[in-house]
Amino acid sequence: MRKIRLSFYLLLSAIILSCKGNSVETAEIKAQRIAIDENIEADPEIEEFVAPFKEHLNKTLDSTLAYNPKDMVKSDGDLNTAIGNLMADIVMEQANPIFKSRTANEIDMVLLNYGGIRSGLNKGNISTRSAYALMPFENEIVVTELSGEKINEMLSYLERAKTAHPVSGIQIEMDQNYNVNRAEIKGKKIDEDKTYFVATSDYLQQGGDNMNFLKDPVELYKVDYKLRNAIIDYFKKIDTLKVEKDNRFIRK
């Protein structure tokens, strides 16, 4: 053992001595910003290779799925909008059968975020591309089991937000100062001793948009369903969109 240690120290000393007198120079790194814009010439071979895939993709994205009888924009209401109601109702309709088949329970309400609506829907034909513009993110639908106390925290959040966050399954009535006068889920007053199944996006459930009341639920259920895919599937099964602003979330 002593011989091994001695050999190690001799080797280490030799390395240190061999490094003495050697100079160390700092490497110089140069960088250049290259703009990616219309000034870059396309490579004909790459364009030829990509062309059939591009054609197939555009055909898929632009094929008509449904018809929208009027323009929808997210700025057309105070606390609820036609397009926000549409998105929340789609989550309820598309995710609830999956959730029920897995848990024997039903979704009580849906909560999404106003900022998650990334575009409007123009009057006319609705396509898969429309759904991608509306929801470009990879957000998935999840169901959180929340206590009645957490639901009241949600209402306090909505009072502070003063924003048309899309909801479904719940009716909220506020006064002119955005204080909640009345709130009912499926026609019944909120019971703090009860739990509620709230469908939302995984982004919000993790505290996005400061919706911290969705974190640490009684139970969290994954639906394995992207929000955008739910929108596309809904468009495929209907002929004409029939969604309006209503009294689900209002001020009096």
Confidence at 52, pLDDT banded by 50, 70, 90: confident
- Is the model's pLDDT at 23 over the cut of 90? no
Strand partners, 167: 111
Q: CA-CA distance, 9 to 103, in Å (whole number)? A: 67
Domains of the chain listed by start with CATH number: 64-251 (3.90.780.10)
The predicted structure's pLDDT at residue 34: 80
Confidence at 57, pLDDT banded by 50, 70, 90: confident
Mean pLDDT of the chain: 90
Percent share of the chain, pLDDT over 70: 90
> Quick one: CA dihedral 90, 93, 94, 99, positive or negative?
positive
Max mean pLDDT among 48-52, 76-80, 196-200 falls in 196-200
The predicted structure's pLDDT at residue 207: 95
Inter-residue contact 218 to 146 (CB < 8 Å): yes
- Is the model's pLDDT at 68 over the cut of 70? yes
Distance set, CA 67 to CA 99, 142, 231 (Å): 28, 28, 14
Confidence at 15, pLDDT banded by 50, 70, 90: low
The predicted structure's pLDDT at residue 73: 94
